[in-house]
Amino acid sequence: MISIAKPNVGAEEKEAVCKIIDSGMIACGKVTEAFEEEFSSYIGTKHGIATTSGTTALEVAIKSLGIGKGDKVLTTAFSFIATANAILYSGAIPVFVDIEEDSYNIDPDLIEEKLQEQPEIKAVLIVHLFGLPCQMDRIKEIVDRHHVMLIEDCAQAHGAFFQEKKVGSFGDAAAFSFYPTKNMTTGEGGIVLTNHDDVAKKARLLINHGMEIRYHHKEIGYNYRMTNMAAAMGQVQLSKLEKFNERRRANADRYICGIHNTKIIMPEMSEGHVFHQFTIRVKDGLRDRFTAFLEENGVGYGVFYPLSMPEQECYKQYGFETHFPIVDCIKQEVVSIPVHPLLTDEEVDMIISVINRF
Ligand SMILES: *Cc1c(COP(=O)(O)O)cnc(C)c1O
C-alpha cells in the first residue's frame, strides 16, 4: 500500500535531537529561540513564537490580536476543524463563507460581500488550503479597505508564495503547524508569526503562563512552549523544506501530465503551490467507487474533507449557516492522492496508471 502521507525524518534529525538530549537542556530554550528566528526569517516576518501545535499557534495568534468574546471572525467553510475551533476558543464567533470551485480557497468576492453586510466583523481568517496560496492581492485590498485584521492559517502551506512573497507574511498574524504529515515537522508543534511588536509580546506572554518576570503572572496564560528537542528537529527539517516542496511539485507535475481520465477534475496549479495535498475531484457521484478502486490497487488516499466545518456535530449548538453550494458539492467529490516527497517516480507512475484505468 502506498500511503497518503509519510513523515520524512532521518538520520540528521535523529542526531540533532540526540544532541539536545545529551545536553540536558531538553525543554524550551536556546534552540527553540534559534528555530523561531530561522523560521520567521525564512518566511519574512519580524517575529516568531513557537508553540506546541498548529492549533495552539492559531489560538494564540487570534487572542494576541485582541480578538475575544462576542467578536466576529470571517473564515472559510472548508478547512480542518482547528481553524474554526481556534476562533471559538477566544470567545469569538466564526462567520463562514463559501469557497472558489477551482482553488478550494475562500472566495474573495464573498469576503467583500460579508464585510459589507456585517461591518462589525473584526478579522478575516484565511486558509491556504492544500498548499495553494489564496489570492492575496485581492484579499489584502479588501481587508485594508474595510480596516479589518487579517490572519493566515498556513498549516498546509510552508514555503508557499504569492507573487514572490511567502504566505504567512501577508497578515497581521499567521499560524503554521509542524504535525508529521505537514510539509515539515517537529513531531507536534506550531509557530505564530507577526510583524507587530505588540502582538509578538502578547503571544510570548500567552504561551508561557502570562509570565515576564519569573513567577509574576500578568495574565492567565498557558503552557504552549515548544521544546528544544522539537526545535532541533525543526531546524533540520527547515533546511530541507525547499527540497521537500520541490519534490512535491515534481510529483504534482507528473500527475498533471499523466492523468487523463474524463471522470477526474485536476487541481489548480500555480507557481507558489507547495502541494500539501494533491486533491482531485471525481465526477458523477463516483467518488466512493473510485476510492474503493484505489484501495483494491494498493493506493492510499484521504478525503479532505467529507463535511464543511459549520455542519460538524460539535457545532450543532451554535446553529451556524450550513448551506454553501460549492463546498456542499465539492465535499462529495474530493479525494487526495499521495504526493509526499518520499514517493518514487515508479510509485507515482503506478498511481497514474491505476487512475487512468478507473
Ligand atoms: C493541521 C492543521 C491545523 C492544526 O495543526 P495541528 O498542529 O494539528 O494542531 C490547523 N489548520 C489546518 C488547515 C491544518 O491543516
**pLDDT tens, position by position, for the chain (358 residues)?**
999 999 899 999 999 999 999 999 999 999 999 999 999 999 999 999 999 999 999 999 999 999 999 999 999 999 999 999 999 999 999 999 999 999 999 999 999 999 999 999 999 999 999 999 999 999 999 999 999 999 999 999 999 999 999 999 999 999 999 999 999 999 999 999 999 999 999 999 999 999 999 999 999 999 999 999 999 999 999 999 999 999 999 999 999 999 999 999 999 999 999 999 999 999 999 999 999 999 999 999 999 999 999 999 999 999 999 999 999 999 999 999 999 999 999 999 999 999 999 9
| Predicted local distance difference test score (pLDDT) of residue 356 | 98
Taking CA atoms only, the protein residue closest to ligand 1 atom 10 is 82
Answer whether 75 contacts ligand 1 (Cβ < 6 A).
no
Whether 52 lines ligand 1, by a CB cut-off of 6 Å, is: no
277 lines ligand 1 (CB under 6 A): no
pLDDT given for residue 132 in this prediction? 98
Atom number of ligand 1 nearest to Cα 55 = 9
Cell of 45: 516576518
The residue written with cell numbers 471572525 in the block is: 73
Q: What is the pLDDT at residue 237?
A: 98
156 lines ligand 1 (CB under 6 A): yes
Which residues, at least 6 apart from 308, have a Cβ–Cβ distance to it below 8 Å? 77, 78, 96, 322, 324, 327, 328, 331
Specify the ligand 1 atom closest to the Cα of 129.
13
- CB-ligand 1 contact for 152 (6 Å cutoff): no
Predicted pLDDT at 288? 97
Which protein residue has the closest C-alpha to ligand 1 atom 6?
A: 54
- Cis before 104 (ω within 30): no
Q: How far is the CA of 53 from the centre of ligand 1 (A)?
A: 8
The reported pLDDT for the residue numbered 210 is 97
Q: Decide whether any atom of ligand 1 lies within 6 Å of the 171 Cβ.
A: no
Would you state the pLDDT for residue 334? 98
74 by DSSP, 3-state: which? strand
Residue 129 has a pLDDT of 98
Centre of ligand 1 to C-alpha 1, Å, is: 25
Q: How far apart are CA 134 and CA 12, in angstroms?
A: 34
Residue to mutate, 78, 106, 132, 156, ligand 1, most ligand atoms under 8 Å from C-beta: 156
Peptide bond into 305 cis (omega under 30): yes
Give the three-class secondary structure for 153. Answer: strand
**Polymer length in residues for the chain:** 358
**Contact between 26 and 242 (Cβ < 8 Å):** no
| Residue 194 β-bridge partners | 47
Instruction: Say if ligand 1 is within 6 A of residue 61 CB.
Output: no
Question: 177 CB less than 6 Å from ligand 1?
Answer: yes
